[in-house]
Amino acid sequence: MTDTGTATLKVARYRPEKSTKPYYQEYKAAYRKDTVVLDALNQIKAEVDGTLAYRWSCRMGVCGSCGANINGTPRLTCATFLHEFKGRTITVEPLAHFPIIKDLVVNMDDFMEKLVRIKPWIIRDKEAPPEEGEYKQTSEQVDKYSQFSSCINCMLCYSACPVYGLNEEFLGPAATALAYRYIMDSRDQGKQARFPIIHELEGVWECTLVGECSVVCPKGVDPMLAIQKTKILGATEAGKSLVKPISGLRAILLPQGGS
């Protein structure tokens, strides 16, 4: 492919060893039709400014580590093409709502702690003996949770979420979607372990269903849908807990066969 132009990148810089305040620095980067923002950052770091700090790994939209705010929208830098912004300055900033460590690198500790809290693994009350083989599933059973298994932990949904921006205690979109993924897995028996976490004060009921988490998700996970479904599950379980005592009371008070 032939070169198609030169892009201007306005990159947010934060170097705590030199300045207490973030600032912006502009760079030029040549691009072709297939050049993405991550390519430009790599070019800048290799040829212009080796002090520029950012995260990346796979360059294939799989690892989720290269997320940044690009012209105000949380996106993967490896999946955002420079030609989309032809004639415009491309502003690259760290993901919103997270503490900045340096330049585009943010502190992920809060997000990782939330992931661990919802226990993202198969929980079994009792393991089947090895001779019984694997836990088999039908395609219908897999369909119930497969969409929510596509999360790559890129944190774009947290950066786009206004609720998390106001309340960092909020469990948030990705963690809830992952919890729902395991709750709907027919092999899992850990619903009662996760329910108190996802239905606590800062859990799903804190969500106002703005939906930006689903808009920015690069994998179509639709965290807002997971949150809605989790709310429905919670309401259903709460309804059952109210009905059961009433049914028991009716059985005691009414004569056999009475109505």
The tens digit of pLDDT for each residue in 83-94 reads 999 999 999 999
Mean pLDDT of 92-107: 98
Mean pLDDT of 124-147: 89
Confidence of residue 4 (pLDDT cuts 50, 70, 90): confident
pLDDT at res. 129: 78
The tens digit of pLDDT for each residue in 170-214 reads 999 999 999 999 999 999 999 999 999 999 999 999 999 999 999
On the question of pLDDT at 71 being above 50, the answer is: yes
Q: What is the pTM of this model?
A: 0.88
pLDDT at res. 224: 97
Instruction: Give 132 or 94, the one with higher predicted confidence.
Output: 94
In order of their start, the domains of the chain are: 5-106 (3.10.20.30), 109-245 (1.10.1060.10)
The tens digit of pLDDT for each residue in 31-55 reads 999 999 999 999 999 999 999 999 9
pLDDT at res. 252: 43
Q: What is the DSSP string of the chain?
A: ----EEEEEEEEE--TTT-SS-EEEEEEEEE-TT-BHHHHHHHHHHHT-TT-----S-SSSSS-TTEEEETTEEEEGGG-BGGGGTTS-EEEEPPTTS-EEETTEE--HHHHHHHHHT--S---SSPPPGGG------HHHHHTTGGGG------HHHHH-HHHHH-TTS--HHHHHHHHHHHT-TT---HHHHHHHHTSTTSGGG-----HHHHH-TT---HHHHHHHHHHHHHHHHHHHHHHHHHHHHHHHSPTT--
Mean pLDDT of 135-143: 95
